[in-house]
Amino acid sequence: MALRLNTFPSHTLIPCCSSSSSSSSSSSSSRSRNFRSPKIFMASTPYSVSRETEKMKKTQFPPRESHIQVTHSMPPEHLEIFKSLEEWADDNILVHLKPVEKCWQAQDFLPAPESEGFYEQVKELRERAKEIPDDYFVVLVGDMVTEEALPTYQTMLNTLDGVRDETGASLTSWARWTRAWTAEENRHGDLLNKYLYLSGRVDMKQIEKTIQYLIGSGMDPKTENNPYLGFIYTSFQERATFISHGNTARQAKEHGDMKLAQICGTIASDEKRHETAYTKIVEKLFEIDPDGTVLALADMMKKKITMPAHLMYDGQDYNLFENFSAVAQRLEVYTAKDYADILEFLVGRWKIEELTGLSGEGRRAQDFVCGLPPRIRRLEERAQGRAKKSSSVPFSWLFGREIIV
C-alpha cells in the first residue's frame, strides 16, 4: 500500500483520539462483546515530552511509539472466519495481483545504463527536474521514504492473527497475497529512489538516513493483531496513497515533466488495484459479520488512522513528519479534506448506512461512522481559521534549503 504519508494532517483536529476517555470507554465496551481480553504493553516514552526530547536530541535517538500497545484483541473463534475464507480469497483477492512478466519495472521509466545514449538521457532528466520547485520535491521525497519503509508494512501484515505467513513461504492464500503484494509495492520505492538520485536535486545521503531511521522505528497502527482492524487500515491507506500519487502525477505534468507524471501515475494505478482488493476483504467481513465489522471500523476511526511514516526522522529534525505533512497539505497533494473524502467513500463502498440487524452497540457505531465525515470537515474548517501564519523551515533532504510550511 505504500502506506502513505499523512492520512490526517498533523495540525488538523480529529474527534476521539485513542488516549481520550470517550475513546477508551467506547473501545472497551465494544471489546466486551466482540474481543477477548487483550494484552497491553506500554510503548517507549513519548519523545514529545520536552525533557525527554532534549535528552534524545543529545543522544540522537530516533522517535518511538508512545501510546499503550494492545495485542491480540480478536476472539479465537473468529479465526475460523478467515480460515473459511481461504478459497474465497484465492478466487477473489489473488486475482488483483499481476504476473511478474506482465508487471512494469522501474527500468521501464529510467535511462538505460547499457545504452550509448545513457548520459544524454540523464542530462535530459536533470534538465526537466530543474523546472520543478523545491516544495514539490519535499513531497516526492516524503512519498518515496514512506514507500521505502515497506519491510515495516509487510511485518505489520504478518502480525495479523489468522492471516499471517506462518513460515515465510506458506501456501495459504493470505500468505501468498502478502508476499506478492509486497513484491509489487517494492517497485514503487525503487522507481522513485532512482529517479530522485538521477535528478541531482536532493541530498541522497540524508534521504537514505531517513529511510533507515524510519524502518528501525517501525510503527504500531493500533490494529492489535486483529485482521478486522488491519484490513480496514489497509483499505484506508491504499486509497490515501492512490490519491497522493495521483496528485503528484498531476502536478508533475503542470511543471512540464511528463515522464515524472507517468511515473507517479503508474504507481497510483497500482495503489488503486490494491485498494480494490483490501476493500473487497472488508466488504466480505461486513457480509459475514456486520456487527463485528462495523464495531471494528468505529474503533479504528476513534483511534484515528495512524500515519505510517509518523516516526520519520533524519537525524536532525524531530518535527520532520509534521513539516513534510504541512507542505503536502499546502500543495494539496494530500489534505484533511482527502481524509474525510476517503472515509465517506468507504462508508458508501461498504454500504454502512444500509446495514440492518445490528445490536444496539452496532447501531451506535454505525451512526458514529456515518456522521464522522461532515464532523471532520467542520473541525478542519475551524482549525484552518485558527491556523498560524506560515513559516519556513530547512529540509536536510534539500541540502538545508528552507521551505514554507
Residue 42 DSSP one-character state: E
Active-site residue, 147 included? yes
Ordered DSSP codes for 327-354? HHHHTTSS-HHHHHHHHHHHHHHTTGGG
Amino acid 380: pLDDT = 86
User: Active-site residue among 78, 188, 245, 310?
Assistant: 188
- The backbone torsions φ and ψ at residue 8, rounded to the nearest 5 degrees and listed phi first, read -145, 110
Active-site residue, 270 included? yes
Amino acid 45: pLDDT = 37
User: Active-site residue among 165, 224, 270, 299?
Assistant: 270
Active-site residue, 172 included? no
One-letter amino acid at 358 equals L
Amino acid 53: pLDDT = 53
Active-site residue, 234 included? no
Q: How far is CA 391 from CA 1, 65, 320, 330, in A?
A: 32, 28, 14, 12
Assigned C-alpha cell, 379:
473541525
Active-site residue, 148 included? no
Check: CB of residue 279 under 8 Å from CB of residue 346. Answer: yes
User: Active-site residue among 143, 185, 220, 291?
Assistant: 185
Check: CB of residue 118 under 8 Å from CB of residue 200. Answer: no
Quote the pTM value: 0.87
The b/e string for 167-202 (b: 16+ C-beta within 10 A; e otherwise) is eeeeebbbbbbbbbbbebbbbbbbbbbbbbebbebb
User: Active-site residue among 238, 257, 314, 380?
Assistant: 238
Check: CB of residue 10 under 8 Å from CB of residue 322. Answer: yes
Q: How far is CA 261 from CA 139, 206, 403, in A?
A: 14, 25, 22
Active-site residue, 120 included? no
Amino acid 42: pLDDT = 45
User: Active-site residue among 271, 275, 314, 380?
Assistant: 271
User: Active-site residue among 104, 255, 283, 367?
Assistant: 104
What's the farthest any 2 CA atoms get from each other in the chain?
70
Active-site residue, 271 included? yes
Task: Report d(CA 287, CA 167) in Å as an integer.
Answer: 30
Looking up cell 519523545, which residue turns up? 47
Amino acid 390: pLDDT = 84
The stretches in the chain having pLDDT less than 50 are: 2-37, 42, 44-49, 58-59
Residue 9 DSSP one-character state: -
Amino acid 92: pLDDT = 98
Ordered DSSP codes for 153-215? HHHHHTTSTTTS-SSSS--SHHHHHHHHHHHHHHHHHHHHHHHHHHH--S-HHHHHHHHHHHH
Amino acid 51: pLDDT = 52
First to last CA, the chain: 26
Assigned C-alpha cell, 328:
503536502
Residue 62 DSSP one-character state: P
Total length of the chain: 405
Partners of 42 in beta bridges: 68
Amino acid 294: pLDDT = 98
User: Active-site residue among 146, 152, 178, 241?
Assistant: 241
Amino acid 367: pLDDT = 98
Amino acid 58: pLDDT = 45
Amino acid 2: pLDDT = 47
Burial class for 8, CB neighbours closer than 10 Å (0-12, 13-18, 19+): buried
How many Å separate Cα 362 from the centre of its chain?
Answer: 27
Active-site residue, 188 included? yes
Amino acid 306: pLDDT = 84
Burial class for 267, CB neighbours closer than 10 Å (0-12, 13-18, 19+): buried
Active-site residue, 274 included? yes
Amino acid 52: pLDDT = 54
